[in-house]
């Protein structure tokens, strides 16, 4: 690896010149190098290192937003800016590690648009880690952290947020998109995935429960995170406690059930969602219980009885939703999620189908757990 100015060359790899972005974001210090972080299924993420005046290490995350997914990236950044300053104002001295701090340019905007794409930069939170597969203790803490995040935004004016991806957790609309993908069969893959299509479409009716409750006003619209994967909570490496909820791209008006359900889908699976060996996919009731306990401890007071009653169904619906989204992308020829191999989206689909199938078997136990904790 050799270094010249802001350019770093990694043998056999395309090398990136970040000098214009570094200047535009007003990042000072001597550039040391960068690495690409292979996190998330959507954006491209790099960690950049600098030495400051006192030879201290300064690290930043530079991200190129996926503008196929986020058609209006300025609105994404406007949402994030409002949300982070709302949360930051409540934190005081804790703020540097508890909320993301985005860099702004000389024009005062938190992004740079150039011929290479739409970029943003924020201070890297060090001494922190994320988990893709989680222990019961960590998952309970994550539940508390996501409930707290909703609490910090409870008084945020929901009408000022842009809906950056319309119908994001509208599961019936995800089903509609699956039907369309089957009909068009753009990648010629529909015949090989008939069992998967059947599994998902057999459950189309139940997929509408959250949207019906929202549309009829039985449950409230709130400011929600909408991407509560377990690896979107940062844990402190010293104390092992959660410090910060990250990945705010999809903070939008939504239902508390989207956050609850997606977190269970992501964290109560003993295997990661990329796991191909389905014998490792196990819906773990203890993990379910512990997340529920943590989430109710921080969010329970605000939630309505109806929201809490729908917890088990929300977990299943969000899992079905991801089944539909991964399969739709597989049928469309992998245009949305990043894939490492042609079968990647199919592997994810099967993984989530297995999880949804197991959840179905445990609905009564899930309801009993929720009932128990809702009275605490």
Binding site for ligand GN1 (CB under 6 A): 40-42, 69, 227, 229, 247, 249-250, 273, 322
Inter-residue long-range contacts of 91-96, CB under 8 Å, 24+ positions, other chains counted: 96/123
Instruction: Specify the residue for token string 């008006």.
Output: 253
CB of 43 to Mg ion, least distance (A): 7
Q: Which is nearer to Mg ion, 203 or 225 (CB)?
A: 225
Q: In what order do the strands lie in the sheet with 117-123?
A: 30-37, 44-51, 57-64, 117-123, 112-114
CA 185 to chain centre: 28
Size of the site for Mg ion (CB under 5 A): 2
- 259's contact among ligand GN1, Mg ion, none, with CB below 5 to 8 A by partner kind, is none
CB of 174 to Mg ion, least distance (A): 16
CB of 132 to ligand GN1, least distance (A): 10
Nearest to 177, CA basis, from 222, 213, 207: 207
Phi/psi for 98 (5° steps) reads -100, -10
CB of 227 to ligand GN1, least distance (A): 5
Q: Which pair of tokens denotes residue 8?
A: 């770093």
- Catalogue the E-assigned strands of the chain: 2-4, 7-9, 30-37, 44-51, 57-64, 112-114, 117-123, 128-129, 222-224, 233-236, 242-245, 252-254
Q: Which is nearer to ligand GN1, 45 or 90 (CB)?
A: 45
- 41's contact among Mg ion, ligand GN1, none, with CB below 5 to 8 A by partner kind, is ligand GN1
CB of 84 to ligand GN1, least distance (A): 17
Q: Which is nearer to ligand GN1, 58 or 229 (CB)?
A: 229
Query: Using CB under 5 A, which residues numbered 224 to 253 contact Mg ion?
Result: 227, 247
Residue 247 exposed, middle or buried by CB count within 10 Å (0-12, 13-18, 19+): buried
Q: Which is nearer to ligand GN1, 42 or 80 (CB)?
A: 42
Q: Which is nearer to Mg ion, 247 or 262 (CB)?
A: 247
CB of 66 to Mg ion, least distance (A): 10
CA 305 to chain centre: 26
Output the residue with the shortest Cβ distance to ligand GN1. 40
Name, in order, each residue with C-beta under 8 angstroms of 204's C-beta and a sequence gap of 6 or more.
172, 175
Q: Which is nearer to Mg ion, 70 or 295 (CB)?
A: 70
CB of 130 to ligand GN1, least distance (A): 11
DSSP 8-state secondary structure symbol assigned to residue 93: G
- 269's contact among Mg ion, ligand GN1, none, with CB below 5 to 8 A by partner kind, is none
- 69's contact among Mg ion, ligand GN1, none, with CB below 5 to 8 A by partner kind, is ligand GN1
End-to-end CA distance of the chain: 57
DSSP 8-state secondary structure symbol assigned to residue 228: -
User: Can residue 334 be called a binding residue for Mg ion (CB under 5 A)?
Assistant: no
Q: Which is nearer to Mg ion, 78 or 227 (CB)?
A: 227
Q: Which residues bind Mg ion (CB under 5 A)?
A: 227, 247
């Amino acid at each position: 690896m050799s270094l010249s100015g802001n350019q770093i060359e990694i043998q056999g790899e395309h090398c990136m010149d970040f000098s214009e972005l570094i200047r535009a974001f007003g990042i000072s210090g001597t550039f040391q190098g960068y690495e690409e972080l292979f996190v998330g299924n959507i954006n491209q993420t790099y960690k950049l290192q600098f030495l400051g005046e006192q030879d201290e290490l300064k690290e930043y995350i530079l991200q190129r937003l996926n503008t196929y997914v986020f058609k209006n990236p300025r609105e994404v950044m406007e949402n994030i800016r409002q949300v982070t300053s709302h949360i930051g104002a409540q934190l005081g001295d804790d703020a540097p590690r508890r909320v993301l701090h985005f860099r702004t340019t000389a024009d005062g905007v938190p992004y740079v648009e150039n011929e290479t794409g739409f970029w943003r930069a924020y201070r890297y939170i060090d001494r922190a880690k994320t988990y893709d597969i989680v222990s019961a203790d960590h998952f309970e803490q994550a539940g508390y952290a996501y409930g707290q995040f909703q609490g910090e935004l409870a008084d945020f004016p929901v009408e000022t947020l842009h809906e950056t991806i319309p119908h994001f957790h509208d599961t019936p609309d995800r089903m509609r998109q699956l039907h369309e993908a089957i009909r068009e069969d753009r990648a010629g893959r529909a015949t090989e995935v008939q069992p998967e299509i059947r599994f998902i479409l057999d459950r189309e009716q139940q997929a509408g429960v959250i949207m019906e409750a929202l549309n009829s006003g039985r449950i409230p619209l709130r400011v929600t995170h909408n991407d509560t994967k377990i690896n979107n909570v940062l844990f402190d490496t010293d104390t092992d406690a959660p410090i910060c909820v990250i990945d705010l791209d999809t903070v939008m008006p939504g239902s508390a059930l989207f956050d609850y359900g997606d977190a269970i889908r992501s964290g109560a699976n003993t295997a990661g969602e990329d796991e191909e060996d389905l014998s490792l996919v196990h819906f773990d009731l203890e993990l379910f219980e512990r997340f529920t306990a943590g989430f109710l401890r921080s969010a329970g007071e605000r939630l309505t009885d109806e929201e809490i009653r729908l917890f088990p169904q929300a977990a299943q619906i969000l899992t079905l939703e991801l089944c539909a989204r991964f399969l739709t992308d597989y049928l469309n020829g992998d245009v949305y999620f990043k894939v490492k191999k042609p079968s990647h989206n199919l592997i994810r689909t099967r993984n989530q189908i297995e999880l949804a199938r197991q959840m179905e078997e445990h609905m009564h136990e899930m309801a009993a757990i929720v009932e128990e904790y809702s009275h605490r």
